[in-house]
């Protein structure tokens, strides 16, 4: 059986295993110790009984029948001819037959009966005791104690894993709290750091290393943003100068081509700057977004150019559009990119539909020729434009829209149009009514 992957599961399994091993070891040790103590006590009684018999026998007593016996003992005296002279107590022929009769004292056992052989001047004294005899209380005490000891040990053994589970649960709750804070770190909350002093001492270096990595990441993003801003400002000045010179060109066709190239370069610079700003902590406060008003503004702004290019554009608002929360300027840029992309890559005579809703959704649908199914997944790749498009562009428009959607906690989806022609681009955003506003 494989060990559980969770820390809590491993902790529980480990504590249960340790508790079982500790309980079994403790019970076995207590049993062995008690039996050893009881056996030592029994042997002491046997020795004392044999010494009492030896003293009585040394005083010249002819019989040992008058000697009091304790705890169900039996006593027998052997003469020098190794025959029994006298006996008292229960008859135990097997133990007497097994008694070692030599020059040394011996303890010996046959089944539940333990004996003691003591050599004397005229023979031997053999004392025996049956552990199962009702008068022998030592073994009863041992068994009773072990039963009560087991009843006391088992609840304690069950309590140890429970305490371990509670401690592990407390630890995992602290780790989950820190993980929840880490999950909130994003483009809008790069200044958030993992708290110190919450995790255990062993895990504290991980939080410190994570905070240090975030500090380095934020510093790098600031450098990247500053670099993009500097490059943008440096390029805008010469582009403005080029535009002035291009506007002075007499040839109308050449002037139009130059102006289009300048506008395209300016648009690329603006998109690169916007993309760099999205990948750093926002300095502009987020707020509510009216998707219907935003779409109406973009359609009104782009409609003249689209109509002049031989296409049509329409706006459709669902009955239940949901409010969104985020950065209106970024969402305007995203929708403008989708509309411009549809106008750029669809033939003359096609229709572009901007749809608001249902829910917090913005969709741009065209009835153009679309793209091969294999290329749908690559449309959001940065700087990818396809090999057979035949249209100039930077290839960052859709990647910028995707980045804006993800910065708002949403997503950009691309699919075939509802009628099987063209493409449908949809920006799915969280419903501000269901999402707590930071």
Cβ burial of 265 (10 Å; 0-12, 13-18, 19+) is middle
pLDDT, position 117: 92
Instruction: Show the domain range for 217.
Output: 188-283
| 328 plus 404 within the same structural domain | yes
Residue 156 lies in a domain: no
The total number of structural domains that make up the chain: 3
Predicted pLDDT of residue 107: 92
Residues 337 and 251 reside in one and the same domain: no
- Same-domain pairing of 299 and 264: no
Q: What is the pLDDT of residues 136-162, one digit of tens each?
A: 556 656 667 667 777 777 777 777 777
Between β-strands 423-428 and 361-366, what pairing exists: parallel, antiparallel or unpaired?
A: antiparallel
Residues 238 and 307 in one domain: no
Tens of pLDDT, residues 212-268: 888 887 777 777 667 766 676 677 677 777 777 777 777 777 777 777 777 777 777
pLDDT in the model for residue 238: 76
Asked if residue 407 and residue 391 are part of one domain, the reply reads yes
The CATH number that applies at residue 302 is 3.30.565.10
What integer pLDDT is reported at residue 278 of this predicted model? 62
149 CA to centre of own chain: 39
pLDDT of residue 232: 67
205's CB contacts (< 8 A; 6+ apart) are: none
Q: From CA 273, how far away is CA 328, in angstroms rounded?
A: 17
**Average pLDDT of the residues of the chain:** 77
Sheet bearing 123-130, strands edge to edge: 84-88, 73-79, 123-130, 113-119, 106-110
- Name the helix (H) or strand (E) containing 86: strand 84-88
Non-local (6+) Cβ contacts of 241 within 8 A are none
Write out pLDDT tens, residues 325-361. Answer: 888 888 888 898 889 888 888 888 888 899 998 888 8
What DSSP letter does each residue of 110-145 carry, written as one string?
ETTEEEEEEE-SSEEEEEEEETTSTT--HHHHHHHH
Place of tokens 């985020």: 326
């Amino acid at each position: 059986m494989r060990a559980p992957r969770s820390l809590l599961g491993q902790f529980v399994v480990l504590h249960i295993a340790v508790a079982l091993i500790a309980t079994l070891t403790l019970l076995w040790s207590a049993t062995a110790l008690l039996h050893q103590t009881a056996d030592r006590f029994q042997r002491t009684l046997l020795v004392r009984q044999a010494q009492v018999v030896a003293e009585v026998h040394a005083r010249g007593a002819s019989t040992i029948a008058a000697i009091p016996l304790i705890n169900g003992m039996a006593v027998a005296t052997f003469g020098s001819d190794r025959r029994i002279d006298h006996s008292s107590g229960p008859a135990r022929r097997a133990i007497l037959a097994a008694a070692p009769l030599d020059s040394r004292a011996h303890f010996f056992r046959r089944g539940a009966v333990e004996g003691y052989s003591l050599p004397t001047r005229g023979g031997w004294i053999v004392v025996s005791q049956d552990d199962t005899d009702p008068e022998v209380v030592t073994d009863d005490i041992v068994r009773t104690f072990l039963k009560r000891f087991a009843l006391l040990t088992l609840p304690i053994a069950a309590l140890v894993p429970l305490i371990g589970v509670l401690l592990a649960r407390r630890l995992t709750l602290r780790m989950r709290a820190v993980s929840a804070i880490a999950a909130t770190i994003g483009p809008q909350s790069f200044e958030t750091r993992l708290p110190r002093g919450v995790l255990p001492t062993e895990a504290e270096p991980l939080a410190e290393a994570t905070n240090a990595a975030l500090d380095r990441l934020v510093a790098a993003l600031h450098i990247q943003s500053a670099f993009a801003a500097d490059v943008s400002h440096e390029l805008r000045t010469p582009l403005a100068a080029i535009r002035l010179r291009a506007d002075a060109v007499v040839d109308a066709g050449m002037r139009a081509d130059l102006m289009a190239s300048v506008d395209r370069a300016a648009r690329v610079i603006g998109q690169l700057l916007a993309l760099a700003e999205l990948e750093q902590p926002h300095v502009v406060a987020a707020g509510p977004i009216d998707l219907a008003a935003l779409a109406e503004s973009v359609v009104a702004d782009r409609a003249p150019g689209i109509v002049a290019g031989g296409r049509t554009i329409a706006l459709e608002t669902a009955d239940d559009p949901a409010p969104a929360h985020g950065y209106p300027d970024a969402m305007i840029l995203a929708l403008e990119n989708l509309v411009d992309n549809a106008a750029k890559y669809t033939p003359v005579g096609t229709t572009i539909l901007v749809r608001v809703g249902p829910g917090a959704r913005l969709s741009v649908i065209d009835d153009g020729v679309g793209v091969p199914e294999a290329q749908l997944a690559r449309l959001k790749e940065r700087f990818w434009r396809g090999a057979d498009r035949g249209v100039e562009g930077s290839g960052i428009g859709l990647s910028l829209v995707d980045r804006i959607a993800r910065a708002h906690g949403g997503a950009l989806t691309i699919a075939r149009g509802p009628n099987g022609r063209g493409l449908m681009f949809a920006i799915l955003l969280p419903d501000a009514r269901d999402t707590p506003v930071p």
